[in-house]
Amino acid sequence: MRVSLLLMVTRVALAAQGLPPALAELFNKGVQTEKVGQLDAAKKAFLGVLEQGGKQAFVYNNLGIMYRERGDDERALAQFREAVRLDAKYAAPRVLMGSSLLALGRVKKPLWNSKLR
């Protein structure tokens, strides 16, 4: 998934700016394990960051991406919503929220796709 790869690069840069060093290290471990498909380890790392007070939008976004990669769009959607709640200007979770809504079949048919009478 190209979006995930681009977001992973962005996430690493964000971690250094918004988290204390120990949490940034744990977060980066989550990103690295996610990159190689170790989703259980990534989940553990991201949850660890959140449990230790690193409640940042990009952490919730990454947790959502991990759930999305597992095919659990319902849980992913909850994480993306929390990311948006924490930082309304952060675009990535909004895009990914749309992707999860599409996968769950919760998007109305677009107007441009309807027939004109």
- What gap in Å lies between CA 24 and CA 41, rounded to an integer? 15
Q: Along the 117 residues of the chain, how does pLDDT read in single tens digits?
A: 445 544 554 555 554 568 999 999 999 999 999 999 999 999 999 999 999 999 999 999 999 999 999 999 999 999 999 999 999 999 999 999 999 999 998 887 666 665 554
The answer to the question of residue 24 being in a domain is: yes
Please check whether residue 113 lies inside any domain of the structure: no
Q: What is the CATH number of the domain that holds 34?
A: 1.25.40.10
Q: Is 114 part of a structural domain of the chain? A: no
Q: Within a domain: residue 92?
A: yes
In a domain, 64, yes or no: yes
pLDDT at 29: 96
Q: Is residue 111 part of a domain?
A: no
SS3 113: helix
Distance CA 66, CA 59 (A): 11
Domain span holding position 13: 2-106
Q: pTM of the entire structure?
A: 0.80
Say which residues have a Cβ less than 8 Å from residue 36's Cβ, sequence separation at least 6.
none
The count of domains in the chain is 1
Residue 112 in any domain: the answer is no
